[in-house]
Structure 1
Amino acid sequence: MTEGVDGATVEVVRSYLVATAEEMRATLIRTAFNPVIYEVLDFGISVYDAKLRLVAEATGLTFFLGANDYSLRKGVEYVGVENLHRGDIVMLNYPYWNAAHAYDATLFMPVFFDGTLVGFLCVRAHWMDLGAKDPGYVLDSTDMHQEGLIFPGTKVFERGEPDEKILELIRFNSRMPELVIGDLHAQVAALRTGERRFHEILAKFGVPSVNTAVEQYLAVSETRSRDALRALPQGSWTAVDWLDDDGVSDDPVRMQVTVTIADGTLTCDFTGSAPATAGPVNMPYGATLAMCKVVLKALTSPDEPSNGGTTAALDVIAESGQLFHAVYPAPTFTLWTGIVAFELIYKALAQGMPDRLAASSGGDVPGFMMVGEHPETGEFFAVSNNDPVGWGGNPDHDGIDATIHLSESTVRSTPIEVLEARTGMFFERVEIRRDSAGAGQFRGGCGLRRDIRFRSPGEFLSVIKKTKSRPWALGGGQEPEANQVIVFPGTERERRVSTTRVAVQPGDRITLLTAGGGGHGDPRERDPESVRHDVAEGYLSAETAREVYGVEETT
């Protein structure tokens, strides 16, 4: 124990810093203009010490776990710590430094106490438009400059005062200026909330005691993480999967990872993956790091608040210029690569610990969006949603039905009421997709069916990168149905697509069918009563019960 700081004080300091991040989160949710922030929770909020170490983090988008670490280091390096003053707020969305695409705007603030730099605060949030070549998602960009206005680390507030020229630049480069400027100010409000709370704990305990407490709990978190890794099966396992395409060509894109657990370290090596693609599925290295941090934390400390210690036992290898380490000017807007690759890491790990892990959970996030003019107000809108999928069957229980993908398990789908009120979409049907789950002793979860009718003209966008191959199963289980998008069903124009942008008119329809989860174990070993229950609840047809599970009487 460090002299002068007892265990109780360490825990109080840690909890106070976590509460600081959570209060920043509450401020952002209450003040944001954009439903992707206040409904879906597409943001990341972090607190750092003066050494740029993550000391606390609020619950937000799962994929943003630790993502601000890389962004903050790059931003401070670019601006220069000597050029930062109290009240400065810096904006960064340069994708290769920001660990995300251009519409994920990171704002960070230095925290000074008694004239000394003591830490940093970060708020990353998804903006809906920043002047990219197309409204909404950019699906077929071929370089970064088609993906929106770029800020490499630009002060939007200096010594507490806004730089109106920068704000006007943002305003005049957005199709939705009020929304974007409103969200920027919501992030500023969250940062200022965090600054006040940070000052409170420093005033209460003093800078030396807080710094000592942070040192201790970061060390404890790292030790626990490494010990947890040592308790897992040791070895190296390789897995391969494919993206449907890169958004520009129809060619599949190879992903490969070798995962090694050895001597208290988790290594994810993406050697063997495709080189950077022409289309926007490339991953900035910081985003690849964040994806791997989520896996490490899930394996070692899923119930503990995250900090720099919990993810210190990670090594990520991705060659510069490769799919998982994009460099300028490679396009990066469609980051669904990370979602499919997230499951790829688990696919590799499952070879070494099949009795610990679930089968594939839908394989991807089925995202969609509509852009256009609102049928009542005439205002431009761009509103998105990420649909739920079935989670994979586990070694001892079924997968969850129709739940947001595990890579985004801490966020929410956009409510139907919001989608209908703020767009030209009307949802005629939302229901469980029967027979979509992978069969098994413990079946995967079922996906979802969503039928949309359009009330006004506009464009419909779908973003899915795994429709041409099915998610994987484990232990003799069966693969589930894959994601599907059917545009203009029942007409001469009907076709099945994955990632697409299509013009729609009033009365047009689109059907979304999301993937189920992979099955775990031999379906013939499933409890017949569970099969009958699934038939009665509409999850399973009597035909599938008979042919796959061997259960004849289901009524």
Structure 2
Amino acid sequence: MTTTPMPTSGVSLAGVASRTWNDVDVDPITLRVIGGALDSMAKEMAQVLYRMAYSSLIRESEDLGAGIFDVNGRELCESDSTPMHCGSIPAYIRGINRRLAGTYSPGDVILHNHPYHGAAHSPDYGIVIPIFWQGEHVGFAGCTGHVSDIGGNFPGLCMDVVDVWAEGKLMDSMKIYDAGIRNDMLIQHILDNVRTPEQNSGDLEALIACARIGEKRFLELLEKFGLDTVMSASERWMDYSERMLRARIREIPDGSYEAPIGYLDDDGKNRGVPLKVAVRVQVDGDEVLVDLTGSNDQVQTAFNVPFEGSVLPVAVSAIRTILLDEAVTEEYVPQNDGCFRPVKVYAPEGTIFNPNFPASCFARFSQVNRIFDSINLALAPVLPDHAVAGSSAALCAIAYSGLASDGESYWVYIEINEGSYGGRNGKDGMDAVDALMANTRNNPIEELELNHAMQALRYELRDESPAPGKWRGGIGSVRTWLMQTDTFLGSEADNRVDAPAGALGGADGVSGSFVRNVGTDSEEVLFSKVTQEIIRKGETLQIKLPSGGGFGDPFERDPFAVLSDVWDEYITEEEAARDYGVVVDTETWTVNHEATMKLRAGEPS
């Protein structure tokens, strides 16, 4: 591998500390106690948010993030929820600080969602509360959650929009509580400009409650140990995470590692024009640069990505996840600002990964998943024990909507469909799971059927066989809905025109699809990205998610594992012989080892 100079315009997500406290020694036991307290308070914040929220995307899928941050937005702790939400909150705080720094008061509550000032994208409401201790501003409690509607051109999700203002209502560092005084008129104005005022109101109150419990718990920690001890311990936790990640980076040979060029289906408007994703990972000592040079120019739809709020946290999460995977790391390494420091990202301005204002960047999750997937594939040759074969890497967010019975509002339901992981060294790919950056749960079909005029006809693993490999790829899900009323459909998915890649000899996975009225005379294949398509009453919609790639030579797969896959009807007896070189007797459910050895050796049977 050759090493090339790092671009000088690479950007790090790490903040810069400004101390208002004295550094003191912290003994190991106190350090672990404070570290555990930080971890538990972030988890409690998330629990409050998803238990109180009204919208199913937050309440059921847990599409949220929460944590405690210092005055510059450096992350002290985060919840075990969606990495994108947690990793973007430091950017939210930096965006808020640019306007409000020096004006904070106890009792302030700030609402923010501006994608060019730190937000992950505009539907992710961020609530930030400044924390004061003995009259001094010492940090923030912050959280984010994806709300059902923000009042843009179309309900729920939109693709074909002209600019960032058309996405919906933008809130840029707005104090909805000022020194404890609630601005009811401002909040009412916000709710009057969305289609789901009841859901948004409930979600907003849940976000506020989430941040307030974080503020309360952090103040309790300060009362017990004092500001100097808590902040000194936090610094040591962050430094420890940084040291651990840098040590793992140093184990990778210096060099420039490029992923195979990938392509997104289209931009949601210009059909048949795929978008290029180019990812290079450069390792230089104990630092990593993720270089997105060569990726597609920004597009005229919402299919662009906010750089600071989305691209940066994805790169950090990918490097941390690959190198500090809990399955292969004995030591506990907390997720905090220390993990951001060794990772830099560069994306040329005017590309889909660093668009110029005011380009819309409403729909960005399929693109960032491809960044993660490509980083993983780029490092697979030098990290075979850590990397994963290509995953679905295409978050399938779909919004169903219609006019509510009161005639004055809309019902909006946003679901996340489950793809799969690729195989990895020692493990088959996980089936029907939200892959890579999302970490969201599936929405129960009962929840939708109870509240909306839709019926689930099918929800299971798709029929196509998994990608062969020593460790097979995971299997994506298939879901079929019957519409019981005319329903608007909006989608920002990606079917993977280039199927998830196999790794180290494994086979490629399978692409996804959207099909209206499957199996009928009126069957119609839909695009993965749609803007307010109408699915009529009595029509069906089938959604298939991509299946992940295989890992390693399929002829090295354990014959008993192949037999089990035949037993589970994942593959057929013929596929076992053709793809894995394993001869299975389905009468006795045994492996013919002699015939298998000959087949794998290429000898005539």
Give your verdict on TM over 0.5.
Answer: yes
Partner residue in 1 for 2:233:
213
With 337-346 and 542-551 compared, the bigger mean Cα shift is at 542-551
Of residues 478, 487, 492, the one that matches 1:463 is: 492
Partner residue in 1 for 2:393:
363
Describe the shift of the 1:185–1:284 C-alpha distance in structure 2 as closer, same or farther (beyond 3 A): same
Partner residue in 1 for 2:57:
36
Deviation of 1:522 after TM superposition, in Å, equals 2.2
SS at match of 2:223: helix
Partner residue in 2 for 1:283:
305
> In the alignment, does 2:67 pair up with 1:46?
yes
Partner residue in 2 for 1:173:
193
Describe the shift of the 1:90–1:419 C-alpha distance in structure 2 as closer, same or farther (beyond 3 A): same
> In the alignment, does 2:518 pair up with 1:508?
no
Partner residue in 1 for 2:221:
201
Partner residue in 1 for 2:357:
328
d(CA) in 2 for partners of 1:153, 1:236: 39
SS at match of 1:82: coil
Partner residue in 2 for 1:452:
481
**8 Å Cα contact 1:392-1:445 kept in structure 2:** yes
Partner residue in 2 for 1:340:
370
1:309-367 Cα distance to aligned partner (Å, 9 max, x none): 12211111112222111231111111121112221111211233234311011231223
Partner residue in 1 for 2:102:
82
d(CA) in 1 for partners of 2:73, 2:490: 38
With 35-44 and 301-310 compared, the bigger mean Cα shift is at 301-310
Deviation of 1:40 after TM superposition, in Å, equals 0.5
Of residues 15, 20, 34, the one that matches 1:13 is: 34
SS at match of 1:468: coil
> In the alignment, does 2:379 pair up with 1:349?
yes
- Matched letter for residue 516 of structure 1: S
Partner residue in 1 for 2:148:
128
d(CA) in 1 for partners of 2:253, 2:151: 48
Of residues 478, 482, 495, the one that matches 2:511 is: 482
Describe the shift of the 1:216–1:550 C-alpha distance in structure 2 as closer, same or farther (beyond 3 A): closer
Structure 2 stretches lacking a partner, 5+ long: 1-22, 327-332, 587-605
d(CA) in 2 for partners of 1:376, 1:71: 36
d(CA) in 1 for partners of 2:48, 2:86: 19
Residue pairs, 1:46-125, within 5 angstroms: 46-79=67-100, 81-125=101-145
**TM-score (normalised: structure 2):** 0.88
Of residues 407, 413, 426, the one that matches 1:396 is: 426
Deviation of 1:508 after TM superposition, in Å, equals 0.6
With 290-299 and 359-368 compared, the bigger mean Cα shift is at 359-368
1:448-504 Cα distance to aligned partner (Å, 9 max, x none): 222211112212333322332211001221111111111121334322222224212
**8 Å Cα contact 2:241-2:334 kept in structure 1:** no
**8 Å Cα contact 1:354-1:474 kept in structure 2:** no
Percent identity over paired residues: 30
Of residues 259, 262, 266, the one that matches 1:245 is: 266
With 365-374 and 141-150 compared, the bigger mean Cα shift is at 365-374
SS at match of 2:361: coil
d(CA) in 2 for partners of 1:479, 1:348: 16
d(CA) in 1 for partners of 2:426, 2:576: 20
**8 Å Cα contact 1:374-1:424 kept in structure 2:** no
Deviation of 1:375 after TM superposition, in Å, equals 8.0
Partner residue in 1 for 2:571:
540
> In the alignment, does 2:291 pair up with 1:269?
yes
With 54-63 and 458-467 compared, the bigger mean Cα shift is at 458-467
Describe the shift of the 1:368–1:554 C-alpha distance in structure 2 as closer, same or farther (beyond 3 A): farther
SS at match of 2:301: coil
Aligned residues: 553
SS at match of 1:83: coil
> In the alignment, does 2:341 pair up with 1:318?
no
Partner residue in 2 for 1:435:
464
Partner residue in 1 for 2:589:
none
d(CA) in 2 for partners of 1:165, 1:224: 49
**8 Å Cα contact 2:322-2:376 kept in structure 1:** no
Describe the shift of the 1:423–1:377 C-alpha distance in structure 2 as closer, same or farther (beyond 3 A): farther
d(CA) in 1 for partners of 2:569, 2:212: 50
SS at match of 2:534: strand
**8 Å Cα contact 1:98-1:106 kept in structure 2:** no
d(CA) in 1 for partners of 2:381, 2:305: 25
1:267-315 Cα distance to aligned partner (Å, 9 max, x none): 1011111121111111111110011111122133344331101221111
1:490-540 Cα distance to aligned partner (Å, 9 max, x none): 334322222224212222111112211101122233233322221221211
Deviation of 1:74 after TM superposition, in Å, equals 1.4
With 505-514 and 107-116 compared, the bigger mean Cα shift is at 505-514
Partner residue in 2 for 1:524:
555
d(CA) in 1 for partners of 2:169, 2:446: 31
Deviation of 1:373 after TM superposition, in Å, equals 4.2
Deviation of 1:3 after TM superposition, in Å, equals 4.7
Deviation of 1:392 after TM superposition, in Å, equals 0.6
**8 Å Cα contact 1:441-1:524 kept in structure 2:** yes
**8 Å Cα contact 2:112-2:119 kept in structure 1:** no
- Matched letter for residue 538 of structure 1: E
d(CA) in 2 for partners of 1:136, 1:337: 19
RMSD over aligned CA atoms reads: 2.0
- Matched letter for residue 390 of structure 1: S
1:189-240 Cα distance to aligned partner (Å, 9 max, x none): 1111111111111111111221222222221221111111112343211122
d(CA) in 2 for partners of 1:18, 1:552: 51
- Matched letter for residue 265 of structure 1: E
Describe the shift of the 1:94–1:110 C-alpha distance in structure 2 as closer, same or farther (beyond 3 A): same
